[in-house]
Structure 1
Amino acid sequence: MNDITNKVLKTYNNNLEFLKQKDSELYNKVILLEQAIEENLYKENFFLEFKDDKYFDIFADNSQSFIYNQDTYLYGEKEAKKVNYLPSENSFKTFYDFSNIPNNLLTSYSLMDVNGHHFSCIASILSYINTNTPKKQTLQKINKFLFLGVGLGTHIQPIHNKIKANTYFIAEENLEIFRLSLFTTNYYEIAKDSAIKFSISDTEEVFKKKFNDYFNYGFVFNHFLKFNLFSKNAEKFVTLIQSCLTEQDHYLFPYHRPYTTIERLFNRKKENILDVSKLHESFKNTDKPILILASGPSSKYNEEWLKENQDKFIIVAIFASLSFCEKNSIKPDIIIQIDEYEIATEIILKKVKSKKLFEDSIFVLGSAVHQNIEEEFQKNKKFFVQMNRINMHESLGRISATSVGEFTYCLLLKLGFKEIYLLGLDLALDPTTNKSHADDHHANKELNNNDEIEEVFSITNSTFKIKGNFQKEVYTTTLFYTSIKLFNQMSRVLKEDWQNVYNLNNGAFLEGAQPKRVEEIDMLNFKNLDKLSLNQDLFSSLNSISKNIISESDLEILNIKLNNAYKVKKVIDNFAEIKSYSNSSIYMKKILELISTIVKHKDIDNLSDILYNYFQFIIHYIVYFFHLKEVDNHKKHIKKINKLLIKELYRLVDKYIEHYEELLKK
């Protein structure tokens, strides 16, 4: 017994030293727990027990039972046997499956302009890969592997011995249980072969951040992510990871979208662009309350209250709510639209019978909106806001948002409004009908809510529970949840103490916004506003913080970005000069070098950022293809795929250069 005791204590101490060197945050967590146990400040619930003189188990004091109730080392060996090299078994599918798209359709996408579709610069490569990928697919190697739930970790070492993955992500909800695994699992030995990313006893937000860090590290190997699920209790990690996967930046903002923004923004160089780089004092001293009117279910339930009290608020209407406004004779003071898609604007406009109600409204538009909205509303009272990484006026800043709701919230915070009310910004399903929006919204749909783990996770249709504003919990979608996270971040970073925000919706709880039902608002304390005078004041204030001339300093920055684009093209030239590769390993190494060289300035350079987005979208398809055992004649495939990849990279770079040269020559 002394030998066993000495062995587990040695393992524990070696693991602590490893954590101290590699993960000081987790090390400190474990040490604090250890001290609390020793000083009787924390009552243990889980205990390590040696059973039948051959294995350890965990005894749970609260249930008076063992967690494994079997030989834990035999359990580990059994789990290792279950792990195979079939990509689609026990794995997360992290990509859009284009394998069933006909090649003739992919060909038509490949003929589109760069900004035509997110297929435009990947279709030719996908078509080749689809044609040459065998039906039977077996991985040569598992590069990344996830352990979701740890227990004593007796399965981790056997699985590592079998697959020798390059990196592991290890998650455990209970710190006590993880601490016990430090006695029985040689993490420090595994770390000699592989990198380990831990998420132990973390909040959902911290877990998702750590997983995203892991996901982006070695992203070229992300096609399928194999995993081991320790217990049903660990299924929460599955849901969180599925959510992370659908929130990836390269899916929400595909590489082609910045080209639309660049083209339309540059064509609007004489238009008024609002300064959103800082907090303005324009409206700080006003006592006028401002109400964001969006198209969530709560707008319908509170329409009578809004009709009765509309003159007591500055009404800022989301463009999608115009038919609702027309139906209820609600005249917006400001109308906001950021959607770049022509069809989305047309659908909304078809529902509006007359534009007379909106002829005096001020329009604030995202820099990428389609010009059809300007053609329908011919007026001078319009302002634009730079969006999503693309600036023409560097000094004016930009707003990054996935939807118009949080965009509008961010704008009002930066303009300095003191009293902000939110109506129709539910960001959750209607608890009664399960509908996503008010009935007149073009994207309204009824969704099923359930608590089961879904095999296929959809960015728009999958639902899960979150904290509610009036109710304990409500169901939301992944897309809504992305907006909620951005809203919460804006509240934490941008909202000042003197700014009050009120959430009037029976939807998601939003940080920084006080839950308040409309019947709780004492409208006797609100005065009717002089809307004619208000319109003039709003326009004057917005005009005072806008700009329609590109400054010399902005021109200098634009020239720097153009010169950087020339340098990126030279990097691709050098890559293109390599005419052949002896094997796929060397080819993969050169691709990684190309990516590393191009994207090292992605945080400050638009083109590097666009290409990083593009690489995240396409490269893992290529890497996966060459990692299949059934794929042979690699030299032939490398030649074909490389030719297509270089062609698409030139298309992306040349289009970017074309836009900047066109702007700067005038």
Structure 2
Amino acid sequence: MLDINTYTQNNFNNNILYLQKHHYNLYQKILEYENQILNNNLPEEFALDYINSCFDIVELSTERYLYAKQSSKLIEIMKKSVNFKKNENVFETFKILDKSSLRPAYNFAFELFEKYGDKTKELKHIYKFIFFGSGLHLEQIHKKVAAKSYLIVEDNIELFRLSLFTTKYFELAKEAQLFFAVDCDNNKFDTIAKIFLEKNFYYNQYIKFFESISHSENKLKQFHTLVVSQSHLNFFYTSILEQYTRPLNYLQNNYKFINLNSNSLKMFCKKQSAILVAPGPSLDKNIELINNSKEKLFIVALSATLSTLENANIQPDIVTHFDGFERSKTHFDKLQNKNFLQNSILLFSAKTPQSIVNMFTKEQIFFFESGTNYKEGFGELSAFCAGSATYLILMALKFKNIYLIGLDLALDEKTLKTHCASYSYSQKINENENENVLTFRDSIIEVEGNLQNIVKSTPNFKLSIDAINEITAGLKEEYQKIYNISNGARFCNIEPANSIELKSKKKNKSLKESKKYFQLNCKDKLSSKEQLFLSQIFELIQTKKTFIVNFSTFKHTDIASFEKSLIQLENDLCYCRERVCEVFSILFSNYLRYVYGFIFDSCNTKDITIDLNTIQLQLTQSLLDIIEKLEIHFKAR
């Protein structure tokens, strides 16, 4: 029989070998921590002790034992607290909508929930599990739940290192896939948690968790934010379908598409400075600042700010519009003077509704692609909101100096409103909502502030904050100066500022000259190569149709074989490396991720009998309906 020292050292050595082979970055982090301890750069705060025939952790400064010298008893209590219930210690990744608002393709999934989604029932299996806090309890809880993947979150690297002496991660990894988020900042945690969510996503319907009492709730709340921010829960396939098909109509009718990759256009913009005007709460407070700068800088305004600018007699040089929904026409309908934008350059997403496009002449409008790439080499923008899309345009075009005003992506600190006074869809967020129920647009989270330490934001805004940080990291040139004058969220590598300071008194080029550069760098039709690309898309539609028909004829023998056929169908419809597949990958992935949540939940609920043949038939019909819509749009191209 091994003595305790030999036992713990063997565990540690085997764990270190496992981490070195499978989680090298974490292995390196542990080595760095150990070196700091050896060099006396860090004090040790905890120690491993063996007392009352059990392991425990003692806090050296207080001599407090984390398991109160009775770890076996406490671990048994922890194990009993973990159960298979759908309504306890669980992240629910569904989004239940009003049936009247759903498109037909979603109806059958909603009906599944109505019939089988009883939350008082238990799960048959727990496929994914999260530990917030490492420690002795992990192995015992695994014996009970036997999950296939674990996310292990530990903010304290010293505690995690001590767990390497007692917890056999190397053995646990033989039965489940392990994801570690140890001593991570928020960005790194997001990256790891997203990978955990992405892996075998069809088992995300209910993700159980255990939270150690001593572990901070910050990461739990952050994971909750990631769950409600998933694309398939907020952007439905119908919106994506319109995003992919509307540009075809504009190309067929000879509207101009701007080449955002044009070197000559970038060389022109490289000499210019611009204000990005967004409809955040701080816009109203900075309107005079914009007015005083309109002769010096290009005013690049989101369409949602137009009524505010018109009231201040500030005519924007460039107007951007990103929204594909009909209700966004309100931004233009609110204008009092129909000629207010007659001299402005209109940079519109190619998913813009026809009703908005019809308000202007062809000469004024320059389309850019967002999510599609029909004009080869012209560049396409993917962004979460109009603000981040407009910022991406300015960065892609290499403007020299960029000032951000109204791009708060945070709530007004006094009123808790999301936008400026004139914004049609501004809302006040209720700070007293149930913290256990987090929603994408209506819940409050805290983020780092631009002009103050912390500001209140929403999961919706957080996605755009992350997008802006990624844009800056990927596109910012050394010569570019970017300033954030908004009283909202802080952005990485963007300088907070209270004012605009420029040496020049006039714009480098006039608006009239600017239009010439835009005119020279656009096309109003598809090339023969691009036409061929559309033909290839139609051919691929037929291939995808065959996959769906094959699925409809699959003879399943039990739930396991049915689930296997669902996984294969998702792989056939969503995964392909060729450029021509991009249209389908996002469209079908978005749709299947939503409906699979309901289907796999039905299959994994105890004490119910489900009709697999009916589910198979309904899913097949819904997918064929989507295929039919795609055929209509691409057949005649």
Q: TM-score band, normalised by the shorter chain?
A: over 0.9
Unaligned runs of 5+ in 2: none
Q: Does the 8 A contact of 1:252 with 1:402 survive in 2? A: no
Match of 2:25 in 1: 25
Match of 1:561 in 2: 537
Q: Does the 8 A contact of 1:75 with 1:154 survive in 2? A: no
User: Secondary structure of 1:358's match?
Assistant: coil
Q: 278-287 or 397-406: which moved more?
A: 278-287
Alpha-carbon offset, residue 133 of structure 1 = 4.4
Match of 1:608 in 2: 585
Match of 1:113 in 2: none
Alpha-carbon distance in 1 for matches of 2:116, 2:485: 55
Q: Does 1:357 align with 2:340?
A: yes
Structure 1 residues 205-261: Cα deviation after superposition (integer angstroms, max 9, x where no partner): 111111111111111111111000012533111111111112212234332222112
TM-score (norm 1): 0.91
Alpha-carbon offset, residue 646 of structure 1 = 0.3
Q: Does the 8 A contact of 2:274 with 2:298 survive in 1? A: yes
Q: Does the 8 A contact of 2:79 with 2:144 survive in 1? A: yes
2:504 to 523, 526, 546: 526
Structure 1 residues 136-187: Cα deviation after superposition (integer angstroms, max 9, x where no partner): 411111111110111xx21111111111111111110111100000111111
User: Secondary structure of 1:268's match?
Assistant: helix
Structure 1 residues 286-311: Cα deviation after superposition (integer angstroms, max 9, x where no partner): 65421111111221111223223322
Q: 246-255 or 308-317: which moved more?
A: 246-255
Amino acid at match of 1:327: N
Q: Does 1:488 align with 2:469?
A: yes
Q: Does the 8 A contact of 1:173 with 1:200 survive in 2? A: yes
Amino acid at match of 1:593: Q
Amino acid at match of 1:198: F
Q: 34-43 or 654-663: which moved more?
A: 34-43
Q: Does the 8 A contact of 2:268 with 2:517 survive in 1? A: no
Check 1:586–1:498 CA distance in 2 against 1; reply closer, same or farther (3 A cut): same
Alpha-carbon offset, residue 599 of structure 1 = 2.1
Q: 651-660 or 37-46: which moved more?
A: 37-46
Alpha-carbon offset, residue 641 of structure 1 = 0.8
User: Secondary structure of 1:250's match?
Assistant: helix
Amino acid at match of 1:595: E
Match of 1:391 in 2: 373
Alpha-carbon distance in 2 for matches of 1:5, 1:280: 70
Within 5 Å, which residues of 2 pair with 1:366-381? 366-381=349-364
Aligned residues: 633
Alpha-carbon distance in 2 for matches of 1:553, 1:603: 16
Unaligned runs of 5+ in 1: 110-118
Match of 1:143 in 2: 127
Match of 2:486 in 1: 505
Match of 2:48 in 1: 48
Alpha-carbon distance in 2 for matches of 1:279, 1:630: 64
Alpha-carbon distance in 2 for matches of 1:612, 1:278: 32
Structure 1 residues 303-355: Cα deviation after superposition (integer angstroms, max 9, x where no partner): 2232233222211111011110111111111111111111122x323432222
Amino acid at match of 2:629: K
Alpha-carbon distance in 1 for matches of 2:501, 2:119: 67
2:198 to 216, 219, 228: 216
After superposition, the CA RMSD in angstroms is: 2.2
Within 5 Å, which residues of 2 pair with 1:138-177? 138-150=122-134, 153-177=135-159
Amino acid at match of 1:488: N
Check 1:367–1:595 CA distance in 2 against 1; reply closer, same or farther (3 A cut): same
User: Secondary structure of 2:636's match?
Assistant: helix
Structure 1 residues 486-517: Cα deviation after superposition (integer angstroms, max 9, x where no partner): 11111111111111111111111112321111
Within 5 Å, which residues of 2 pair with 1:179-194? 179-194=161-176
Within 5 Å, which residues of 2 pair with 1:144-293? 144-150=128-134, 153-231=135-213, 233-269=215-251, 270-277=254-261, 281-284=265-268, 287-293=271-277
Check 1:576–1:379 CA distance in 2 against 1; reply closer, same or farther (3 A cut): closer
Alpha-carbon distance in 2 for matches of 1:336, 1:146: 42
TM-score (norm 2): 0.95
Alpha-carbon offset, residue 62 of structure 1 = 4.1
Match of 1:628 in 2: 605
Q: Does the 8 A contact of 2:46 with 2:58 survive in 1? A: yes
Alpha-carbon distance in 2 for matches of 1:280, 1:49: 69
Alpha-carbon distance in 2 for matches of 1:291, 1:401: 19
Alpha-carbon offset, residue 279 of structure 1 = 5.8
Match of 1:468 in 2: 449
Q: Does the 8 A contact of 1:283 with 1:418 survive in 2? A: no
User: Secondary structure of 2:130's match?
Assistant: strand
Check 1:235–1:415 CA distance in 2 against 1; reply closer, same or farther (3 A cut): same
Alpha-carbon offset, residue 199 of structure 1 = 1.0
Amino acid at match of 2:343: D
Check 1:608–1:288 CA distance in 2 against 1; reply closer, same or farther (3 A cut): closer
Alpha-carbon distance in 1 for matches of 2:39, 2:507: 64
1:414 to 376, 381, 396: 396
Alpha-carbon offset, residue 278 of structure 1 = 6.1
Alpha-carbon offset, residue 449 of structure 1 = 4.6
Alpha-carbon offset, residue 129 of structure 1 = 4.2
Match of 2:74 in 1: 75
Amino acid at match of 2:498: R
Amino acid at match of 1:463: I
User: Secondary structure of 1:398's match?
Assistant: coil
Match of 1:115 in 2: none
Amino acid at match of 2:334: K
Match of 2:325 in 1: 341
Alpha-carbon offset, residue 658 of structure 1 = 2.3
Amino acid at match of 1:355: K
Q: Does the 8 A contact of 2:86 with 2:119 survive in 1? A: no
Match of 2:565 in 1: 590
The sequence identity of aligned pairs, in percent, is: 27
Match of 2:556 in 1: 581
1:640 to 583, 606, 614: 614
Alpha-carbon distance in 2 for matches of 1:475, 1:603: 42
Alpha-carbon distance in 1 for matches of 2:457, 2:119: 37
Q: Does 1:659 align with 2:633?
A: yes
Structure 1 residues 617-656: Cα deviation after superposition (integer angstroms, max 9, x where no partner): 1112101101111212x4xx11111100000111112222
Q: Does the 8 A contact of 1:607 with 1:656 survive in 2? A: no
User: Secondary structure of 1:471's match?
Assistant: coil
Match of 1:322 in 2: 306
Check 1:427–1:124 CA distance in 2 against 1; reply closer, same or farther (3 A cut): same
Q: Does the 8 A contact of 1:279 with 1:416 survive in 2? A: no
Match of 2:295 in 1: 311
Within 5 Å, which residues of 2 pair with 1:422-441? 422-441=404-423
Match of 2:495 in 1: 514
Alpha-carbon distance in 2 for matches of 1:278, 1:32: 46
Q: Does the 8 A contact of 1:171 with 1:200 survive in 2? A: yes
User: Secondary structure of 1:356's match?
Assistant: coil
Check 1:279–1:487 CA distance in 2 against 1; reply closer, same or farther (3 A cut): farther
Amino acid at match of 2:300: V
Q: 252-261 or 185-194: which moved more?
A: 252-261
Alpha-carbon distance in 1 for matches of 2:219, 2:461: 19
Amino acid at match of 2:505: K
User: Secondary structure of 1:553's match?
Assistant: helix
Q: 537-546 or 307-316: which moved more?
A: 307-316
1:547 to 510, 519, 523: 523
